[in-house]
Amino acid sequence: MTSELIDDCHEAVKCAQRAFHASLKLGTTKGTERSRAVLAIAQALKRDFDEILEANTWDLEASREMAVPEFILDWLKLTPSRLENTVAFLEKLGQLSDPLRRVRTADYQLEDSQSYFQLMPLGVIAFVYESFPDLAAIAAGFCIKTGNTIILRGSTEASNSNAAIANSLKTAITQVGLPPGCIELVTAEHGESIRDLVTQEEYINLVIPYGRSSLIQQVVRQATCPVLKSAMGNCYLYWSLNGSLEMVRWMILDSHNSEPDPVNAIEKVLIHRQALPSSLSVLWNNLQEKGFKLKGDAELVAAFPQLELVKDDEWEKPYLTKTIAFKLVDSLDSAIAWINQNSSGHADSIVTDSYQESRQFALGVNTAATYINASPRFSRNPSRGDTVFLGMSNQKGHRRGFISLETLTTVKHIIQGNGKF
Protein backbone atom coordinates (compact mmCIF):
# COMPACT_ATOMS: atom_id res chain seq x y z
CA MET A 1 0.00 0.00 0.00
CA THR A 2 1.41 3.40 -0.99
CA SER A 3 2.06 6.13 1.56
CA GLU A 4 -0.68 8.27 -0.04
CA LEU A 5 -3.24 5.53 0.52
CA ILE A 6 -2.02 4.98 4.08
CA ASP A 7 -2.46 8.69 4.81
CA ASP A 8 -6.12 8.40 3.77
CA CYS A 9 -6.78 5.48 6.15
CA HIS A 10 -8.49 5.67 9.51
CA GLU A 11 -6.20 5.91 12.53
CA ALA A 12 -7.07 2.34 13.56
CA VAL A 13 -5.90 1.05 10.17
CA LYS A 14 -2.67 3.04 10.37
CA CYS A 15 -1.95 1.66 13.85
CA ALA A 16 -2.69 -1.87 12.71
CA GLN A 17 -0.38 -1.50 9.72
CA ARG A 18 2.46 -0.08 11.81
CA ALA A 19 2.01 -2.82 14.41
CA PHE A 20 1.96 -5.50 11.70
CA HIS A 21 5.21 -4.35 10.11
CA ALA A 22 6.85 -4.01 13.53
CA SER A 23 5.75 -7.55 14.44
CA LEU A 24 7.74 -8.98 11.53
CA LYS A 25 10.90 -7.53 13.09
CA LEU A 26 10.04 -8.10 16.73
CA GLY A 27 9.27 -11.78 16.15
CA THR A 28 12.88 -12.46 15.17
CA THR A 29 14.58 -10.58 18.04
CA LYS A 30 16.51 -12.39 20.72
CA GLY A 31 14.94 -13.12 24.09
CA THR A 32 17.54 -10.95 25.83
CA GLU A 33 16.48 -7.95 23.72
CA ARG A 34 12.82 -8.44 24.53
CA SER A 35 13.57 -8.89 28.23
CA ARG A 36 15.64 -5.71 28.21
CA ALA A 37 12.69 -3.88 26.63
CA VAL A 38 10.31 -5.07 29.36
CA LEU A 39 12.74 -3.90 32.06
CA ALA A 40 13.04 -0.57 30.23
CA ILE A 41 9.25 -0.20 30.37
CA ALA A 42 9.38 -0.73 34.15
CA GLN A 43 12.07 1.95 34.48
CA ALA A 44 10.07 4.35 32.31
CA LEU A 45 7.05 4.01 34.57
CA LYS A 46 9.27 4.77 37.55
CA ARG A 47 10.67 7.82 35.79
CA ASP A 48 7.24 9.15 34.76
CA PHE A 49 5.55 8.24 38.05
CA ASP A 50 4.39 11.78 38.90
CA GLU A 51 3.20 12.63 35.39
CA ILE A 52 1.10 9.45 35.23
CA LEU A 53 -0.51 10.08 38.61
CA GLU A 54 -1.26 13.69 37.62
CA ALA A 55 -2.92 12.55 34.40
CA ASN A 56 -4.94 10.03 36.38
CA THR A 57 -6.14 12.78 38.73
CA TRP A 58 -7.56 14.66 35.74
CA ASP A 59 -9.40 11.53 34.61
CA LEU A 60 -10.84 10.95 38.08
CA GLU A 61 -12.09 14.52 38.38
CA ALA A 62 -13.73 14.42 34.96
CA SER A 63 -15.29 11.01 35.65
CA ARG A 64 -16.80 12.16 38.94
CA GLU A 65 -18.40 15.10 37.16
CA MET A 66 -19.89 12.67 34.64
CA ALA A 67 -21.29 10.49 37.46
CA VAL A 68 -19.28 7.42 36.45
CA PRO A 69 -20.21 4.40 38.67
CA GLU A 70 -18.19 4.08 41.86
CA PHE A 71 -16.69 0.69 41.01
CA ILE A 72 -15.45 2.06 37.66
CA LEU A 73 -13.77 4.88 39.60
CA ASP A 74 -12.06 2.22 41.72
CA TRP A 75 -10.79 0.53 38.57
CA LEU A 76 -9.64 3.87 37.19
CA LYS A 77 -7.88 5.23 40.27
CA LEU A 78 -4.12 4.84 40.19
CA THR A 79 -2.37 4.98 43.54
CA PRO A 80 1.37 4.98 44.18
CA SER A 81 0.95 1.43 45.47
CA ARG A 82 -0.78 0.24 42.27
CA LEU A 83 1.92 1.77 40.10
CA GLU A 84 4.67 0.29 42.27
CA ASN A 85 3.04 -3.14 41.97
CA THR A 86 2.92 -2.71 38.19
CA VAL A 87 6.61 -1.84 38.12
CA ALA A 88 7.42 -4.87 40.31
CA PHE A 89 5.33 -7.09 38.00
CA LEU A 90 7.20 -5.88 34.92
CA GLU A 91 10.57 -6.34 36.62
CA LYS A 92 9.68 -9.96 37.40
CA LEU A 93 8.36 -10.44 33.88
CA GLY A 94 11.57 -9.12 32.38
CA GLN A 95 13.63 -11.59 34.40
CA LEU A 96 11.68 -14.69 33.37
CA SER A 97 13.13 -17.06 30.80
CA ASP A 98 12.29 -16.54 27.14
CA PRO A 99 8.91 -18.19 26.37
CA LEU A 100 9.78 -18.47 22.66
CA ARG A 101 11.93 -20.92 20.71
CA ARG A 102 11.18 -23.73 23.14
CA VAL A 103 11.59 -26.93 21.14
CA ARG A 104 9.41 -29.96 21.79
CA THR A 105 9.22 -33.33 20.08
CA ALA A 106 6.13 -33.63 17.90
CA ASP A 107 3.80 -36.62 17.81
CA TYR A 108 3.72 -36.45 14.02
CA GLN A 109 6.82 -38.27 12.76
CA LEU A 110 7.77 -39.34 9.22
CA GLU A 111 10.25 -41.99 8.12
CA ASP A 112 13.81 -40.72 7.58
CA SER A 113 13.04 -37.38 9.26
CA GLN A 114 12.66 -35.77 12.65
CA SER A 115 9.68 -33.61 13.57
CA TYR A 116 9.51 -31.05 16.32
CA PHE A 117 7.65 -27.86 17.13
CA GLN A 118 8.50 -24.66 18.87
CA LEU A 119 6.57 -21.74 20.35
CA MET A 120 6.30 -18.65 18.16
CA PRO A 121 4.66 -15.20 18.51
CA LEU A 122 1.09 -14.73 17.36
CA GLY A 123 1.95 -11.41 15.68
CA VAL A 124 -0.28 -8.42 16.50
CA ILE A 125 -2.52 -8.34 19.56
CA ALA A 126 -5.21 -5.72 20.18
CA PHE A 127 -5.98 -5.09 23.85
CA VAL A 128 -9.38 -3.43 24.37
CA TYR A 129 -9.78 -2.49 28.02
CA GLU A 130 -12.15 -0.59 30.26
CA SER A 131 -10.50 1.74 32.83
CA PHE A 132 -7.53 -0.10 34.49
CA PRO A 133 -4.86 2.19 32.96
CA ASP A 134 -2.07 0.18 34.62
CA LEU A 135 -3.18 -2.92 32.73
CA ALA A 136 -1.95 -1.30 29.52
CA ALA A 137 1.62 -1.51 30.79
CA ILE A 138 1.18 -5.10 31.97
CA ALA A 139 -0.39 -6.20 28.68
CA ALA A 140 2.36 -4.43 26.73
CA GLY A 141 5.00 -6.21 28.81
CA PHE A 142 3.31 -9.55 28.10
CA CYS A 143 3.28 -8.90 24.38
CA ILE A 144 6.85 -7.63 24.08
CA LYS A 145 8.10 -10.60 26.13
CA THR A 146 6.37 -13.02 23.76
CA GLY A 147 7.48 -11.23 20.59
CA ASN A 148 4.06 -9.75 19.81
CA THR A 149 3.25 -6.14 19.04
CA ILE A 150 0.27 -4.58 20.80
CA ILE A 151 -2.43 -2.05 19.97
CA LEU A 152 -3.99 -0.47 23.05
CA ARG A 153 -7.57 0.77 22.95
CA GLY A 154 -8.68 2.10 26.33
CA SER A 155 -11.92 3.68 27.47
CA THR A 156 -12.71 7.40 27.39
CA GLU A 157 -12.77 7.91 31.15
CA ALA A 158 -9.07 6.93 31.33
CA SER A 159 -7.91 8.86 28.26
CA ASN A 160 -5.31 11.04 30.00
CA SER A 161 -3.93 8.13 32.01
CA ASN A 162 -3.80 5.90 28.95
CA ALA A 163 -1.95 8.54 26.92
CA ALA A 164 0.60 9.18 29.69
CA ILE A 165 1.34 5.48 30.13
CA ALA A 166 1.49 4.83 26.37
CA ASN A 167 4.01 7.67 25.96
CA SER A 168 6.21 6.10 28.63
CA LEU A 169 5.98 2.68 26.99
CA LYS A 170 6.78 3.99 23.51
CA THR A 171 9.76 6.00 24.75
CA ALA A 172 11.14 2.96 26.57
CA ILE A 173 11.02 0.55 23.62
CA THR A 174 12.47 3.15 21.24
CA GLN A 175 15.41 3.71 23.58
CA VAL A 176 16.31 0.01 23.52
CA GLY A 177 16.09 -0.15 19.74
CA LEU A 178 12.78 -1.92 19.13
CA PRO A 179 10.57 -0.73 16.23
CA PRO A 180 8.24 2.16 17.23
CA GLY A 181 5.17 0.24 16.03
CA CYS A 182 5.61 -2.39 18.75
CA ILE A 183 3.21 -0.40 20.94
CA GLU A 184 0.35 1.60 19.44
CA LEU A 185 -2.48 3.53 21.09
CA VAL A 186 -5.87 4.05 19.47
CA THR A 187 -8.17 6.50 21.24
CA ALA A 188 -11.81 7.44 20.97
CA GLU A 189 -10.62 11.03 20.48
CA HIS A 190 -9.35 9.96 17.04
CA GLY A 191 -12.97 9.20 16.17
CA GLU A 192 -12.15 5.51 16.06
CA SER A 193 -14.71 3.02 17.34
CA ILE A 194 -13.90 -0.41 18.73
CA ARG A 195 -15.34 -1.88 15.54
CA ASP A 196 -12.76 0.04 13.47
CA LEU A 197 -10.00 -1.78 15.34
CA VAL A 198 -11.34 -5.30 15.77
CA THR A 199 -12.22 -5.68 12.09
CA GLN A 200 -8.59 -5.37 10.94
CA GLU A 201 -8.16 -9.11 10.50
CA GLU A 202 -5.59 -8.51 7.75
CA TYR A 203 -3.16 -7.21 10.35
CA ILE A 204 -4.41 -8.27 13.81
CA ASN A 205 -4.02 -11.87 14.98
CA LEU A 206 -5.84 -11.73 18.33
CA VAL A 207 -8.11 -9.37 20.26
CA ILE A 208 -8.24 -9.49 24.06
CA PRO A 209 -11.12 -7.50 25.59
CA TYR A 210 -10.96 -6.75 29.32
CA GLY A 211 -13.73 -5.20 31.39
CA ARG A 212 -17.43 -5.65 32.02
CA SER A 213 -19.31 -8.42 30.22
CA SER A 214 -21.04 -5.80 28.03
CA LEU A 215 -17.65 -4.80 26.59
CA ILE A 216 -16.63 -8.42 26.07
CA GLN A 217 -19.83 -9.21 24.19
CA GLN A 218 -19.53 -6.06 22.08
CA VAL A 219 -16.07 -7.10 20.93
CA VAL A 220 -17.18 -10.69 20.27
CA ARG A 221 -20.11 -9.49 18.13
CA GLN A 222 -18.12 -6.97 16.12
CA ALA A 223 -14.72 -8.63 15.69
CA THR A 224 -13.62 -10.32 12.51
CA CYS A 225 -10.30 -11.17 14.22
CA PRO A 226 -9.96 -14.09 16.66
CA VAL A 227 -11.00 -13.08 20.20
CA LEU A 228 -9.70 -14.34 23.54
CA LYS A 229 -12.56 -13.64 25.92
CA SER A 230 -11.52 -12.65 29.42
CA ALA A 231 -13.91 -12.96 32.33
CA MET A 232 -14.62 -11.12 35.54
CA GLY A 233 -17.05 -11.82 38.35
CA ASN A 234 -20.17 -14.01 38.62
CA CYS A 235 -18.23 -16.87 40.17
CA TYR A 236 -20.24 -19.47 42.13
CA LEU A 237 -19.62 -21.29 45.39
CA TYR A 238 -21.49 -24.43 46.47
CA TRP A 239 -21.72 -24.90 50.24
CA SER A 240 -22.16 -28.62 50.92
CA LEU A 241 -23.62 -30.07 54.11
CA ASN A 242 -20.13 -31.53 54.57
CA GLY A 243 -18.48 -28.10 54.42
CA SER A 244 -17.59 -25.79 57.29
CA LEU A 245 -19.05 -22.34 57.89
CA GLU A 246 -15.62 -20.87 58.60
CA MET A 247 -14.24 -22.10 55.27
CA VAL A 248 -17.16 -20.55 53.39
CA ARG A 249 -16.72 -17.24 55.19
CA TRP A 250 -12.98 -17.11 54.53
CA MET A 251 -13.28 -18.03 50.83
CA ILE A 252 -15.89 -15.34 50.19
CA LEU A 253 -13.94 -12.61 51.96
CA ASP A 254 -10.58 -13.56 50.46
CA SER A 255 -11.95 -13.79 46.93
CA HIS A 256 -12.99 -10.13 47.09
CA ASN A 257 -9.49 -8.97 48.03
CA SER A 258 -8.03 -9.07 44.51
CA GLU A 259 -8.63 -5.36 44.02
CA PRO A 260 -9.06 -3.30 41.97
CA ASP A 261 -10.49 -5.90 39.59
CA PRO A 262 -12.46 -8.66 41.37
CA VAL A 263 -11.61 -11.26 38.73
CA ASN A 264 -12.58 -14.33 40.76
CA ALA A 265 -14.77 -12.73 43.41
CA ILE A 266 -17.48 -15.10 44.68
CA GLU A 267 -20.77 -13.36 43.95
CA LYS A 268 -23.25 -16.24 44.07
CA VAL A 269 -23.53 -18.94 46.76
CA LEU A 270 -25.61 -22.11 46.46
CA ILE A 271 -26.55 -23.65 49.82
CA HIS A 272 -27.85 -27.14 50.50
CA ARG A 273 -31.46 -26.93 51.62
CA GLN A 274 -30.76 -28.76 54.88
CA ALA A 275 -28.18 -26.21 56.06
CA LEU A 276 -28.70 -24.97 59.62
CA PRO A 277 -30.49 -21.58 59.77
CA SER A 278 -28.21 -20.57 62.65
CA SER A 279 -25.13 -21.04 60.44
CA LEU A 280 -26.69 -18.91 57.71
CA SER A 281 -27.43 -16.12 60.17
CA VAL A 282 -23.86 -16.16 61.47
CA LEU A 283 -22.47 -15.94 57.93
CA TRP A 284 -24.77 -13.13 56.85
CA ASN A 285 -24.20 -11.06 59.95
CA ASN A 286 -20.45 -11.35 59.45
CA LEU A 287 -20.63 -10.40 55.78
CA GLN A 288 -22.86 -7.42 56.50
CA GLU A 289 -20.37 -6.23 59.10
CA LYS A 290 -17.73 -6.33 56.36
CA GLY A 291 -19.84 -4.06 54.14
CA PHE A 292 -21.43 -6.63 51.84
CA LYS A 293 -24.89 -6.25 50.34
CA LEU A 294 -26.76 -9.56 50.58
CA LYS A 295 -29.50 -10.95 48.36
CA GLY A 296 -31.43 -14.21 48.29
CA ASP A 297 -34.00 -16.25 46.40
CA ALA A 298 -37.68 -16.05 47.34
CA GLU A 299 -37.46 -18.93 49.81
CA LEU A 300 -34.54 -17.40 51.71
CA VAL A 301 -36.03 -13.90 51.71
CA ALA A 302 -39.24 -15.27 53.25
CA ALA A 303 -37.24 -16.78 56.11
CA PHE A 304 -34.62 -14.00 56.44
CA PRO A 305 -36.10 -10.54 55.84
CA GLN A 306 -32.66 -8.88 55.95
CA LEU A 307 -31.96 -10.30 52.48
CA GLU A 308 -33.00 -8.45 49.33
CA LEU A 309 -34.82 -10.47 46.66
CA VAL A 310 -32.70 -11.46 43.65
CA LYS A 311 -34.10 -10.69 40.22
CA ASP A 312 -34.16 -13.67 37.85
CA ASP A 313 -31.66 -12.19 35.38
CA GLU A 314 -29.08 -11.48 38.10
CA TRP A 315 -28.04 -15.12 38.46
CA GLU A 316 -26.13 -15.00 35.16
CA LYS A 317 -24.71 -11.48 35.48
CA PRO A 318 -21.73 -10.22 37.52
CA TYR A 319 -22.25 -7.55 40.18
CA LEU A 320 -18.60 -6.42 40.26
CA THR A 321 -19.31 -4.90 43.67
CA LYS A 322 -19.43 -6.24 47.23
CA THR A 323 -22.78 -7.93 46.58
CA ILE A 324 -23.54 -11.63 47.07
CA ALA A 325 -26.69 -13.58 46.22
CA PHE A 326 -27.68 -16.84 47.95
CA LYS A 327 -29.89 -19.66 46.70
CA LEU A 328 -31.09 -22.96 48.18
CA VAL A 329 -30.55 -26.17 46.17
CA ASP A 330 -31.59 -29.76 46.83
CA SER A 331 -28.34 -31.54 46.03
CA LEU A 332 -24.87 -31.38 44.55
CA ASP A 333 -26.30 -32.41 41.19
CA SER A 334 -28.72 -29.47 41.33
CA ALA A 335 -25.87 -27.11 42.20
CA ILE A 336 -23.73 -28.32 39.29
CA ALA A 337 -26.64 -27.96 36.85
CA TRP A 338 -27.40 -24.42 38.08
CA ILE A 339 -23.74 -23.36 37.89
CA ASN A 340 -23.36 -24.72 34.36
CA GLN A 341 -26.41 -22.75 33.28
CA ASN A 342 -25.64 -19.42 34.99
CA SER A 343 -21.97 -19.07 35.97
CA SER A 344 -19.49 -17.06 33.92
CA GLY A 345 -17.55 -20.31 33.71
CA HIS A 346 -14.08 -19.18 34.63
CA ALA A 347 -13.82 -19.95 38.36
CA ASP A 348 -16.25 -21.88 40.58
CA SER A 349 -15.76 -23.33 44.06
CA ILE A 350 -17.02 -25.94 46.48
CA VAL A 351 -16.70 -26.26 50.25
CA THR A 352 -16.90 -29.88 51.34
CA ASP A 353 -15.06 -32.46 53.44
CA SER A 354 -16.21 -35.24 51.10
CA TYR A 355 -13.65 -36.46 48.57
CA GLN A 356 -16.41 -37.99 46.46
CA GLU A 357 -18.30 -34.68 46.33
CA SER A 358 -15.16 -32.75 45.45
CA ARG A 359 -14.40 -35.08 42.53
CA GLN A 360 -17.98 -34.99 41.27
CA PHE A 361 -17.95 -31.19 41.40
CA ALA A 362 -14.53 -30.83 39.74
CA LEU A 363 -15.52 -33.10 36.85
CA GLY A 364 -19.10 -31.87 36.53
CA VAL A 365 -18.85 -28.07 36.43
CA ASN A 366 -18.17 -26.55 33.03
CA THR A 367 -15.60 -24.04 34.24
CA ALA A 368 -12.00 -23.15 33.45
CA ALA A 369 -10.79 -23.34 37.05
CA THR A 370 -12.29 -25.29 39.96
CA TYR A 371 -11.43 -24.54 43.58
CA ILE A 372 -11.99 -27.13 46.32
CA ASN A 373 -11.77 -25.71 49.83
CA ALA A 374 -9.48 -23.03 48.41
CA SER A 375 -9.96 -19.34 47.77
CA PRO A 376 -10.42 -18.49 44.08
CA ARG A 377 -8.71 -15.13 44.62
CA PHE A 378 -6.78 -14.19 41.48
CA SER A 379 -3.24 -12.83 41.47
CA ARG A 380 -1.34 -11.69 38.39
CA ASN A 381 1.91 -12.11 40.26
CA PRO A 382 1.53 -15.11 42.60
CA SER A 383 4.11 -15.56 45.33
CA ARG A 384 4.68 -19.21 44.38
CA GLY A 385 5.79 -20.36 40.96
CA ASP A 386 7.87 -18.73 38.25
CA THR A 387 5.21 -17.30 35.96
CA VAL A 388 2.78 -14.38 35.83
CA PHE A 389 -0.74 -13.96 34.46
CA LEU A 390 -2.72 -11.31 32.62
CA GLY A 391 -6.22 -12.52 33.47
CA MET A 392 -8.68 -15.40 33.13
CA SER A 393 -10.34 -16.73 30.00
CA ASN A 394 -13.65 -18.60 30.16
CA GLN A 395 -13.79 -19.79 26.56
CA LYS A 396 -12.93 -23.15 25.03
CA GLY A 397 -11.48 -21.66 21.86
CA HIS A 398 -7.93 -20.28 21.53
CA ARG A 399 -6.99 -20.91 25.16
CA ARG A 400 -8.95 -21.44 28.39
CA GLY A 401 -8.13 -20.59 31.97
CA PHE A 402 -5.20 -18.49 33.16
CA ILE A 403 -3.81 -16.14 30.51
CA SER A 404 -0.07 -16.75 30.76
CA LEU A 405 2.87 -15.96 28.49
CA GLU A 406 2.34 -19.21 26.58
CA THR A 407 -1.27 -18.17 25.90
CA LEU A 408 0.06 -15.42 23.63
CA THR A 409 2.07 -17.84 21.50
CA THR A 410 1.36 -20.34 18.76
CA VAL A 411 3.31 -23.36 17.50
CA LYS A 412 5.31 -23.99 14.37
CA HIS A 413 5.92 -27.57 13.28
CA ILE A 414 9.31 -28.25 11.68
CA ILE A 415 10.13 -31.46 9.84
CA GLN A 416 13.85 -32.04 9.32
CA GLY A 417 14.75 -34.58 6.66
CA ASN A 418 18.03 -36.48 6.36
CA GLY A 419 18.70 -35.50 2.75
CA LYS A 420 17.82 -38.90 1.19
CA PHE A 421 15.81 -39.08 -2.05
User: How far apart (Å, rounded) are the C-alpha atoms in residues 262 and 235?
Assistant: 10
- Cα–chain-centroid distance for residue 264? 10
Q: Which long-range contacts (CB under 8 A, 24 or more apart) does 286-292 make?
A: 286/249, 287/249, 287/252, 287/253, 287/324, 290/253, 290/322, 291/322, 292/322, 292/323, 292/324
Segments in 96-224 forming alpha helices (H): 133-145, 159-175, 194-198, 213-222
What DSSP string runs through 73-98?
HHHH---HHHHHHHHHHHHHHHHSPP
Fold classification of 3-229+395-417 (topology level): Aldehyde Dehydrogenase; Chain A, domain 1 (3.40.605)
**Bond before 80 cis per omega within 30 degrees:** no
> How does DSSP assign 200-219, residue by residue?
-TTT--EEEEESSHHHHHHH
- CATH number of 235-372, picked from 3.40.50.2300, 1.50.10.20, 3.40.309.10, 3.40.1410.10: 3.40.309.10
What's residue 134's pLDDT? Answer: 95
CA distance 116 to 27: 19
CA angle 117, 119, 120 (to 5 degrees): 115
Q: What is the distance between the terminal CA atoms of the chain, rounded to a whole angstrom?
A: 42
pLDDT tens, residue by residue, 195-216: 999 999 999 999 999 999 899 9
Residue 376 main-chain phi, psi, to 5 deg: -80, 10
- Where do the CATH 3.40.605.10 domains begin and end in the chain? 3-229+395-417
At residue 391, φ and ψ (nearest 5 deg) are: -175, -155
In which band, very low, low, confident or very high, does the pLDDT at 218 lie, cut at 50, 70 and 90? very high
CATH 3.40.309.10 domain range(s) in the chain: 235-372
Three-class DSSP category at 64: helix
Q: Which residues pair with 150 in a beta bridge?
A: 125, 183
Distance, in Å, from the CA atom of 273 to the CA atom of 327, rounded to the nearest integer, reads: 9
Phi and psi, residue 28, nearest 5°: -105, 5
- pLDDT tier for residue 180 given thresholds of 50, 70 and 90: confident
Q: Give residue 391's identity as a one-letter amino acid code.
A: G
Distance CA 253, CA 322 (A): 10
**pLDDT single digits (tens) 230-278:** 888 899 999 999 999 999 999 999 999 887 788 899 999 999 999 989 9
- Rounded mean pLDDT of the chain? 91
- CA 18 – CA 14 distance, rounded (Å): 6
Encode pLDDT of 307-364 as tens digits: 999 999 999 999 999 999 999 999 999 999 999 999 999 999 999 999 999 999 999 9
Mean pLDDT, residues 7-26 taken together: 85
pLDDT above 90 for 400: no
Q: Can you give the pLDDT at residue 191?
A: 58
∠ CA 90-344-381 to the nearest 5 degrees? 15
